Structure 1
Amino acid sequence: MTDAPLSGTSAIALRPATPADRPLLLRIYASTREQELARTPFTPEQKAAFLEQQFTAQSAHYERHYSDTSYDVVEVGGAPAGRLIVARWPQELRIVDVALLPRFRGAGIGTRLLAPVLAEADGRGAKVSLHVERFNPAQRLYQRLGFAPVAAEEQGIRQLWERAPSGRPARRYVKTAS
């Protein structure tokens, strides 16, 4: 694969993930954990084993807890670039996971990738939700797309964000004095 710059008009395509995509999907997952694991004293072998275990657990969780879900490989200009997992429920579309390999980040692909999901939700009059890690730089993207956190406090490092139909901001939490 080449590291040539991406064109703003590179074709984005989705295709259903298959069992043969597991090594690619693991590589995509691992790329999202690189900064976190850089601070650990793990050897490369320990990191690989940890990532394999975590990816397997995450995949099993998604299979158990998300029905009516599409599991897609994202391709940009014909090259594997990421994954998109979307659950479709009657009143809500949940972006279960969206991740791009590092060379595809910051090029506007996330906006172009999520636009059809948002349009689908708007057409159905459904909200869109996703969980976001508190320090994830993609928060700026989600804010631009009309998402907002829906609770002041959540357990762990992830927070639920929502976007109402037709791009109206979701209900925002209001912190009150106690």
Structure 2
Amino acid sequence: MTAETVRSKSADLPPIAFIPATTDDIDRLVDLKVLVMRGELERLGRYTPERARDKFVARFSPDRTRLIDLDGRFAGCVTFTDHGGHVEIEHLYLAPECHGSGLGSRIMGVLMDEARALGKPIRLTVLNGSPANRFYQRLGFVETERDPIDIQYIWTP
């Protein structure tokens, strides 16, 4: 995978570049996950630094992970995996200073366009009670399953 620049529909917004992750990125990606998710995981009684790292590292695949570069600065990461019948967003973490900026919607627009081009639905899982649930629902994701910890969603093009 090579760097891919995504131009915004609005000229006043900086372009997003997706840069392929490498194994050297693991520490900063774990740090970002902890920074973004710690409060939610603590609320559920599921946070320890070791657990957060181990869970991320166990599923980390550089070839499926894209770093998000916004105007020359690291803004987050996304893992987007084709499973044959569907694609899955396993991780989408944005730096806290990017929250509420519209960046997440722009990134999801690109991923939804990719899924649409493949003719495949997108599946993802969100922590129960997380504000991210409202975000995905606004984008048209529909709940398919729920347990005390997670909610599974699907979006169909």
TM-score norm. by structure 1 comes to: 0.71
Alignment of 1:76 with 2:80, yes or no, is no
Question: C-alpha displacement at 1:36, in angstroms?
Answer: 4.3
The answer on whether the counterparts of 2:85 and 2:120 sit within 8 Å (CA) in structure 1 is yes
Unaligned runs of 5+ in 1: 1-6, 40-46, 166-178
Question: C-alpha displacement at 1:37, in angstroms?
Answer: 6.9
CA RMSD of aligned residues (A): 2.4
Unaligned runs of 5+ in 2: 1-10
How much identity, in percent, do the aligned residues show? 27
Q: What secondary structure does 2:87 align onto?
A: strand
Cα deviation, 1:28-52, whole Å, max 9, x if unaligned, reads 111123324777xxxxxxx8xx324
The answer on whether the counterparts of 2:34 and 2:52 sit within 8 Å (CA) in structure 1 is no
Give the counterpart letter for 2:100 in structure 1.
G
Match of 1:146 among 122, 125, 140: 140
Aligned residue in 1 for 2:53: 55
Match of 2:23 among 19, 22, 47: 19
Question: C-alpha displacement at 1:53, in angstroms?
Answer: 4.2
Aligned residue in 2 for 1:120: 114
The answer on whether the counterparts of 1:129 and 1:161 sit within 8 Å (CA) in structure 2 is yes
Q: What secondary structure does 1:150 align onto?
A: strand
Aligned residue in 2 for 1:28: 32
Q: What secondary structure does 2:25 align onto?
A: helix
The structure carrying a bigger strand percent of its residues is 2
Give the counterpart letter for 1:81 in structure 2.
A
Count of aligned pairs between the two proteins: 143
Q: Following the alignment from structure 1 to structure 2, what is the Cα–Cα distance between the partners of residues 103 and 155? A: 30
Q: Following the alignment from structure 1 to structure 2, what is the Cα–Cα distance between the partners of residues 26 and 8? A: 31
Aligned residue in 2 for 1:9: 13
The answer on whether the counterparts of 2:128 and 2:148 sit within 8 Å (CA) in structure 1 is no
Give the counterpart letter for 2:83 in structure 1.
W
